[in-house]
Structure 1
Amino acid sequence: MLHLARTAAMPRKRALQTCSDWLNVKFILRGPMPEFCSFLVFKPSEIDLIHSIFAAANWSTRDIPDPSMRYAFSERGMSELSQASALKDIGIRREGQQEGRLLLLETEQAEADNIIQLVCAANLILEGFPFVKNPPTSGFKLPDDEADRRTTFENVFRSDGFFQWFTYRETLPVAVAIAAEAWRDRKLVYAIHKLAHSYETESVTPWSMHPRFKQAFQKHSVDFSSHVVTSVAINLAYSAIEELDLGVKASPKKPRTIGQGTFVWNPEVLDPFKERLRKAGIDPEKTIDWVTRGDQTEIDIYKMLDDPSDHSDGVDIRDRQVSLPDAINFCEYLRNTMTAHAFSSDTPRLGPYEVYNAQQVARLLILSKCNLWNTWTKELRRRYG
């Protein structure tokens, strides 16, 4: 047993009197924590912020120059190599260019993998489309010996396959903050992964939903397999909402609507629903654009959408402003009646716009619960500075 108190027989210089001394003793007895390459690359100017965010989640990290040399940063922007074979052509970095900083995780394998996967899933939610193909799914354990590390850097990380795993995205600092915020809440972690898988199953680029593109996609498909993919994407998006405990809680004894022929919320359902949103840090009075384009071939529920967005023209663009409780209710309707069970005759009428709407509702709820809705790196510096 180790005694930390100084005794008369123990010279002062050998007494272990501080917590840091004790940590050093444990380090000697157990050896250093393993280090895992995260494959996540950051701007040199952002790496201190990243360490601050990770420290807030009690994650131990450090950084090294990106051994892949895939990215170069300057005041003008960023340059990227797509193939490892291009490394032989880059020569010496131009004046003002800096290599990225690679994040290393000092922890055990299982935790390193979970952290990396969560950051990548959070980044996918932020971007709203899987721009990065085959993102890192696990950490790479780095050798303890420096010579072995250099060999790994030169012969493994700078060869095609691993080279493409090294990932820089402008949104990564916020993705790290989302992961750190969610880490202690297992339900929130699952919600993030479910929505990320929804985007991977089916999604459209966010900018293609801009009103200037009007109806950018075919609204429905005749392919049976497409109906299944669309349904799975909607199911995952709504399941993410359920993980947050933000679904509608109604029953035969307490129905969600009162009256006949039109939808009017039952206050006994709506008022507690709004309170759950508030407790999650989400404004229940917030509205969301429910994207509706082209001919009126949607399901009957769309007849309830009677508040046009400012940019709607009533023909090609029929987007509607929908309250957050109503939007969640619509997502549940899609899931309950057309996608989660045996398909109905209305299921083939679903398509990319319904998928996008359900994903946008789940995205808003997740980012708002993390207190990171419409938050970017500049704001993160103020929070973690």
Structure 2
Amino acid sequence: MPKFRTHLIINKRDSDKIKALSFNNIKLDLLPEPSKCYWESLDGRSSSISYGGRDPETIREDEIPLNELIIEAATEEVAEDFISILQGGMLLVFPDASIIHKFIFITEYDESRNKLYTDEHIFSYLKKFDNVSFGCLIAQKIIRDNQLVYAIEKYKTSIGLTSFNPYSADPMYGKVFDNYDFKREYHTKAAFAIIAAFSVIEELGLEIRSSQKRPRFLNSATGEWNPDVLLDVQERLNESNISDRLTFDWVYRGDPTRIEKEIKPYFGFDSEWTKYGEAVRDKTLTIAEAVHNASYLRNFIAAHKFNELTQYISPYDVFNVQSLGRKLILNKLNLWQAMLDRNK
């Protein structure tokens, strides 16, 4: 099979993890990166970049070059599909849109062209990101599961439209973003980001299934669920390896927004970190309650013809639906704790 260059720079620890993975239709190779710019210590505790390449006489005995990830696949399209899933897996670890916008590209591997990467312009094509090995692990687990692959691609689409990374949601920072943006371009991107993120939940088969004949609530004012509807979603959660006792913290920052006031029922109890101040009003919800909130945003605010409330979608509304989809995917794969422990 032909080899394809990913331009992804991998350290030794991630290289060892990738070597332990196996795939049916592709093979992953790790070769010394071509620019001779990326180095690390043998114990992995330090790394360096030497622009222009390293003078062999300055290389210490305790230093090794980093690797580039190479994909062997039947066609370039197969390799590109794999790298897209890998990218989505990296986003599940840390949702940062720069992973999308500054990501790598596939070219056919030609060892005779390695010397080109000593040129400063070509060297810039090489990218070093965190969590590549975890992205490969995700790809190994889902590559033959269309529903999970499409769930990740939808999640990636949502993150690419508009998003912020989890650091900005840390309660210690309080309210980082304005809840209202005047620009209609933002309203449109935010609405479609919510639609794509909620579609992740649908792809997993974890939406709440109710209708006029089978209402979601017996009393929407008090949040009393129709027990048949609630049991149905709880059973599907359990069948997906997700405990129906799992909780989700819905981020509310600053004064209540127009949309927050519209969502009924108003679920949840104060998250443990609301002590950080009045700007932090986060609520702890059950997964079913969180899916209800997400579906409300999707059905009545974001989808179909925009209404008067669409302009009030806040960055936190988008973040909540995206984060819920992320949590459901990782828990379905039984990788949430592994993701948290990945650097131990």
| TM norm structure 2 | 0.90
> Is it true that 1:259 corresponds to 2:205 in the alignment?
no
The question of 1:187 aligning with 2:147 is answered yes
1:165 deviates by 3.6
Report whether the alignment pairs 1:91 with 2:65.
no
Counterpart of 1:49 (choices 11, 17, 22) is: 17
CA contact (8 A) 1:135 1:167 kept: yes
**How far 1:380 moved relative to its partner?**
10
For residue 331 of structure 1, what is the aligned residue in structure 2? 294
In structure 2, what is the Cα distance between the partners aligned to 1:206 and 1:69?
Answer: 34
Paired with 2:84 and 2:287, the residues of 1 have a C-alpha distance of 29
Q: What SS class does the counterpart of residue 52 from structure 2 fall into?
A: helix
Letter in 2 for 1:216: V
Task: Kindly provide the amino acid, as one letter, of the partner of residue 273 in structure 2.
Answer: H
Distance 1:201 1:335, change over 3 A: same
Whichever residue aligns with residue 196 of structure 2, its letter is L
State which of 313, 320, 338 in structure 1 corresponds to 2:283: 320
Question: Which structure 1 residue ranges, 5 or more long, are not aligned?
Answer: 1-32, 144-148
Tell whether 2:49 aligns with 1:100: no
**Which secondary structure does the structure 1 equivalent of 2:255 belong to?**
coil
Partner Cα separation in structure 2 for residue 243 and residue 250 of structure 1: 17
Aligned equivalents of 1:288, 1:123: Cα separation in 2: 21
Residues in 1 aligned to 2:134 and 2:255: alpha-carbon distance in whole angstroms:
38
Residues 164-214 of structure 1 deviation map (CA, whole Å, 9 limit, x = unaligned): 343333311111111111111111101111111211111112111111111
Q: Which of 300, 322, 343 lines up with 1:359 in the alignment? A: 322
CA apart distance, 1:49: 2.3
- 5 Å-filtered alignment, 1:104-123, equals 104-108=70-74, 109-123=76-90
| Matches for 1:298-313 after TM superposition, within 5 Å | 298-299=258-259, 300-301=262-263, 304-313=266-275
| Matches of 1:351 and 1:377, distance apart in 2 | 27
Q: Answer whether contact 2:93 2:339 (CA < 8 A) is retained.
A: no
Paired-residue identity, %? 29
- Post-superposition shift, 1:263? 2.0
What CA distance in whole angstroms lies between the structure 2 residues aligned with 1:349 and 1:297?
Answer: 7
Residues 1:99 and 1:374: Cα distance change in structure 2 (over 3 Å): same
Is the 2:14–2:132 contact (alpha carbons within 8 Å) kept by the matching residues of 1?
A: no
Q: Is residue 39 of structure 1 aligned with residue 4 of structure 2?
A: no
**Cα drift, residue 371 of structure 1:** 1.7
Aligned-partner residue type, residue 180 of structure 1: Q
Matched, 1:61 2:21: no
How far the C-alpha of 1:286 sits from its partner, in A, is 0.7
What is the Cα deviation at residue 70 of structure 1?
Answer: 4.2
Where 1:374 maps in the other structure, the secondary structure is helix
Cα offset, 1:243, TM superposition = 1.0
Of 222, 225, 228 in structure 1, the residue corresponding to residue 188 of structure 2 is 228
Give 1:359 deviation, angstroms: 0.7
State the SS of the aligned residue for 1:262. coil
Instruction: Indicate how the Cα distance of structure 1 residues 254 and 215 shifts in structure 2: closer, same or farther if over 3 A, else same.
Output: same
Alpha-carbon separation, structure 1, partners of 2:301 and 2:249? 22
Q: Deviations along 1:90-117, whole A, 9 cap, x unmatched?
A: 4345422221122222212221111111
Instruction: Point out where structure 2 has 5 or more consecutive residues left out of the alignment.
Output: none
Q: How does 1:138-177 map to 2 (within 5 A)?
A: 139-143=106-110, 149-150=111-112, 152-155=113-116, 157-159=117-119, 162-177=122-137
Q: Take 1:341 and 1:41, find their aligned partners in 2: how far apart are those partners?
A: 43
1:197: which partner in 2? 157
CA distance in 2, matches of 1:212, 1:244: 32
Distance in 1, matches of 2:220 and 2:282, equals: 26
Closer, same or farther: CA 158–336 of 1 in aligned 2, 3 Å:
farther
Contact kept? 2:52, 2:119, Cα under 8 Å: no
SS at match of 2:270: coil
CA distance 1:142–1:312, change in 2 (3 Å): same
Tell whether 2:206 aligns with 1:246. Answer: yes
User: What is residue 19 of structure 1 aligned with on the other side?
Assistant: none
Q: SS state of the match for residue 338, structure 2?
A: coil
Task: Quote the residue 2:256 is aligned against.
Answer: 296
The answer as to whether partners of 1:178 and 1:367 remain within 8 angstroms in 2 is no
Equivalent residue, structure 2, for 1:22: none
Quote the residue 1:18 is aligned against.
none
1:303 deviation in Å?
6.5
- Alpha-carbon separation, structure 1, partners of 2:20 and 2:204: 27
Distance 1:377 1:285 in 2: 20
Does structure 2 retain, via aligned residues, the 8 Å contact 1:174–1:375? no
Q: CA–CA distance in 1 between the matches of 2:244 and 2:258?
A: 26
CA spacing shift, 1:289–1:376, aligned 2, 3 Å: closer
Q: State the one-letter code of the partner of 2:154.
A: K
90-99 vs 35-44, which moves further: 90-99
Query: Bigger CA drift: 361-370 or 162-171?
Result: 162-171
Tell me which amino acid in the other structure corresponds to 1:232.
F
The 8 Å contact of residues 34 and 107 in structure 1, kept in 2 or not, is answered as yes
User: Which residue in 2 is equivalent to 1:11?
Assistant: none
- RMSD over equivalenced CA pairs, Å: 2.3
Partner of 2:46: 77
CA contact (8 A) 1:174 1:377 kept: no
The residue number in structure 1 matching 2:171 is 211
Q: Which has the larger Rg?
A: 1
Contact in 2 for aligned 1:57/1:183 (Cα 8 Å): no
